[in-house]
Amino acid sequence: MSSTPQVLPDGALVGMVHLLPLPGSPGATASLHETVTRAVEDARTLARAGFDALMMENFGDAPFRATQVEPHTVASMTVVGRAIREAVPLPLGINVLRNDPLAAMAVAAACGAAFIRVNVHVGVYATDQGLIEGRADETLRYRRQLGIDVAIFADVHVKHAQPLSSPDIAEAAEETAYRGRADGLIVSGTATGKPTSLDDLARVRSAVPDRPILVGSGATPETVRSLLDVASGVIVGTAVKHRQRTTAPVDPESAAAMVRAAREPR
């Protein structure tokens, strides 16, 4: 088992804070101040609804860099992350899209985040950004260099991608947890907002019984309880947005409905 402390409670609901396009990205129109304001508003809405943790990612920066992002992206995300941490006393996760775990670790260190998400931690995947290779060795060595206890949650058969190594999801889970030394795993559907297969989730849980496993996409109030019967927690984004549009602000009523459904006794 990983030596990194547990950062999420069992049955955790992790609410997504999808950032507006950051300065320098193709779709950027908002100022950094406006981006901070929107992110803090979403974080506060999720906290008031009863979510257990938050995860911030540069979702508006599409098309994404395959790996290393520019310094101004790291700086911008650090500014937003600090603002969220000062506004909301919940554990915060960082995901730097498409796959820059070193940047995510740096942002986490600077703003006091509890965990990062790594889309491709081990193996090789064909993605819409081209081939992406895992860099678990670099990520873990960088964490040691920084001297921080930031947990690494790594995707298994990440969405918007096809595995070129370890096509069996159970084998990929074992590789990610035991050779890549990820502290937790994430299992998603095929794309943002798409449902996560209960069969995939069960196979990963059976293969890796000693790590927390999060659902990475597609949870709804109708499915969240069945997902939590297998998973340690659920990451929620699209389902709690206005009109279920991923780029829209968080809707207070939808967020509250998700929490009620997740906490409903079986």
Q: How far apart, in Å, are the Cα atoms of 49 and each of 46, 80, 218, 242, 254?
A: 5, 21, 19, 15, 9
- Give the alpha-carbon dihedral of 27, 163, 14, 90, to 10 degrees: -80
The SS3 of residue 119 is coil
44: left (phi over 0), alpha (psi -120 to 50) or beta: alpha
**Per-residue model confidence as pLDDT tens for the chain (266 residues):** 455 668 999 999 999 999 999 999 999 999 999 999 999 999 999 999 999 999 999 999 999 999 999 999 999 999 999 999 999 999 999 999 999 999 999 999 999 999 999 999 999 999 999 999 999 999 999 999 999 999 999 999 999 999 998 899 999 999 999 999 999 999 999 988 899 999 999 999 999 999 999 999 999 999 999 999 999 999 999 999 999 999 999 999 999 999 999 998 86
Distance of CA 218 to the CA centre of its chain: 13
Q: Are 178 and 209 in contact (CB under 8 A)?
A: no
Question: Residue 194: is it exposed, middle or buried by C-beta count within 10 angstroms (0-12/13-18/19+)?
Answer: middle
Query: Whole-model pTM?
Result: 0.96
CATH 3.40.50.970 corresponds to the domain 12-263:
no
Q: Are strands 213-215 and 130-133 parallel, antiparallel or unpaired?
A: unpaired
Strand partners of residue 54: 15, 92
Residue ranges per structural domain of the chain: 12-263
